[in-house]
């Protein structure tokens, strides 16, 4: 196992690199968000027409990249065309279900509706228990200084846009790969053909360049997980780039999804961790008097890995979506159709980059998952 020395240094380097990268991108993103929110509130105070539009654009961009209870195709207000989706809420009074278009589209929190004896209010696409009295802006909500409602929320188990998108991607994955598996059975020992020959190099890439180098001879047990993660992330990245239904749902740019995926890797790492792995955490190779420092660091290290995974994928995909939307919004901000001459080529350029990023992020997520699992199952090496 002379390879594992290189492996050790490499994996430490990679982990450090990505942790730093993820943290910096995360913090800059958060800062930008804070600023956006700050400007939003300022604008509301001034109430000028152009600024209202700018604020609208920020809202539209944020609206586009976040989850929704229906799938909007086009239009606004009364001309809004959207695919209604079921809303499932676990409220104080039990399960409440209704279609999202049952009540008029109002996300300002100014109307209260009652379903199954439970009164609810919708504010920015989220359902809240309404306050008893209106606030000064006519909303049945109590907003804090950053305009976030402090009202309690029911547990929202709705089939949202992202959930539908996820089901579509699942269906696609199942159809594609089960048909490929059938082709493999039918054309046993023959050269690949059609879709099979398109995806076989990718499968082999995951096996030979991701699983084998990171996991060694025990790679086979983790192949199904790595392949599932890779293709799940990849297809959702690609679907997210399609602006029309059934694409455009920014699923992998949603932190709940990336958190779920990272937690899967974390669980696999934790349950497969061998004596050597836990030994590194609780009995690191340092003088004993450094233990009080090293052991907490190692324990924090266990959790920073999945957090880095979560933030990286989320931030990269969301940033791409925001970039494209912002470039398109330039046309409306500058109010000139000629801006399109600059903006559209840029959007096209970013879109092509996003295609690559979609693959790279899926690959990085998979290779880091493999690396973390590899660290957990690595056999003891004499240092």
Partner 1 sequence: MTLLALNPLVSPDPGLFIWSTIAFVLLFFLLSKFAWKPIVKALDERERSIEDALTKAEMAKEELSKLTNENEQLLKQARGERDEILKEAKILKDQIVHDAKNLAQIESSKMIEKARHEIHNQKIAALEDIKNQVATLSLDIATKILRKQFEDQKKQQALVTDLVETIELN
Contact residues for partner 1, defined by CB under 8 A:
30, 33-34, 37, 62, 65-67, 88, 124, 126, 146, 148, 155-160, 162-163, 166-167, 170, 173-174, 177-178, 180-181, 184-185, 188-189, 200, 203-204, 207, 220, 223-225, 227-228, 232, 254-257, 259-261, 264, 314, 318
**How far, in Å, CA of 145 to CA of 42, rounded?**
12
CB of 197 to partner 1, least distance (A): 12
Contact criterion met (CB below 8 Å) for 82 and 101:
yes
Nearer to partner 1 by Cβ, of 158 and 329: the residue is 158
- What tokens does 305 get? 């890995």
- Label residues 332-366 b or e (16+ Cβ within 10 Å = b): eeeeeeebeeebeeebeebeeebeebbbebbbbbb
Side-chain-side CA neighbours of residue 59 (13 Å): 14
Side-chain-side CA neighbours of residue 79 (13 Å): 3
- What tokens does 47 get? 């109430």
The secondary structure of residue 141, as a DSSP letter, is S
CB of 80 to partner 1, least distance (A): 21
Distinct helix (H) and strand (E) counts, the chain: 10, 8
In DSSP notation, 32-57 reads HHHHHHHHHHHHHHH--HHHHHHHHH
**How far, in Å, CA of 128 to CA of 140, rounded?**
9
Nearer to partner 1 by Cβ, of 88 and 353: the residue is 88
CB of 25 to partner 1, least distance (A): 12
CA distances from 127 to 106, 157, 318 (A): 11, 11, 24
CA distances from 360 to 44, 231, 237, 258, 325 (A): 40, 12, 10, 15, 21
Question: Which residues lie across from 345 on neighbouring strands?
Answer: none
- What tokens does 226 get? 């790595």
CB of 374 to partner 1, least distance (A): 18
- The torsion angle over the Cα atoms of residues 163, 74, 354 and 33, rounded to 10 degrees, is -80
Tell me if the bond preceding 246 is cis, omega within 30° of 0. Answer: yes
Residue labelled with tokens 């693959």? 359
CB of 156 to partner 1, least distance (A): 4
Evaluate the CA torsion angle 269, 270, 276, 280 in order and state its sign. Answer: positive
Nearer to partner 1 by Cβ, of 134 and 207: the residue is 207
The secondary structure of residue 96, as a DSSP letter, is E
């Amino acid at each position: 196992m002379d390879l594992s020395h290189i492996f050790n240094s490499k994996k430490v380097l990679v982990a450090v690199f990505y942790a730093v990268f993820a943290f910096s991108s995360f913090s800059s993103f958060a800062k930008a968000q804070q600023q956006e929110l700050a400007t939003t509130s300022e604008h509301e105070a001034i109430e000028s027409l152009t600024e209202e539009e700018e604020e609208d654009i920020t809202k539209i961009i944020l609206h586009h990249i976040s989850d929704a209870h229906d799938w909007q195709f086009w239009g606004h207000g009364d001309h809004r065309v959207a695919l209604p989706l079921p809303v499932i809420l676990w409220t104080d009074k039990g399960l409440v279900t209704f279609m999202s278009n049952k009540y008029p589209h109002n996300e300002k929190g100014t109307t209260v509706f009652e379903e199954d004896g439970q009164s609810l209010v919708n504010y920015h696409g989220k359902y809240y228990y309404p306050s008893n009295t209106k606030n000064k802006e006519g909303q049945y909500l109590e907003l804090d200084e950053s305009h976030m409602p402090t009202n309690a929320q029911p547990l929202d188990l709705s089939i949202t846009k992202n959930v539908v998108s996820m089901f579509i991607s699942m269906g696609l994955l199942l159809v594609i790969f089960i048909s490929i598996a059938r082709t493999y059975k039918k054309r046993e020992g023959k050269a690949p053909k059609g879709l099979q020959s398109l995806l076989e190099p990718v499968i082999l890439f995951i096996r030979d360049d991701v699983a084998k180098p990171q996991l060694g001879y025990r790679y086979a047990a983790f192949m199904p997980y790595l392949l599932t993660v890779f293709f799940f992330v990849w297809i959702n990245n690609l679907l997210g780039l399609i602006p029309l239904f059934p694409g455009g749902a920014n699923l992998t740019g949603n932190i709940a999804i990336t958190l779920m995926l990272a937690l899967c890797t974390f669980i696999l790492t934790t349950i497969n961790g061998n004596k050597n792995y836990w030994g590194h955490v609780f009995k690191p190779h340092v003088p004993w008097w450094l233990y009080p420092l090293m052991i907490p660091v190692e324990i924090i290290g266990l959790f920073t890995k999945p957090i880095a995974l979560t933030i990286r994928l989320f931030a990269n995909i969301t940033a791409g979506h925001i970039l494209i939307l912002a470039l398109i919004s330039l046309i409306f901000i500058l109010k000139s159709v000629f801006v399109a001459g600059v903006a559209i080529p840029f959007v096209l350029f970013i879109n092509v980059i996003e295609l690559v990023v979609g693959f790279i992020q899926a690959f990085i997520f998979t290779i880091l998952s493999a690396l973390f699992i590899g660290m957990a199952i690595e056999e003891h090496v004499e240092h």
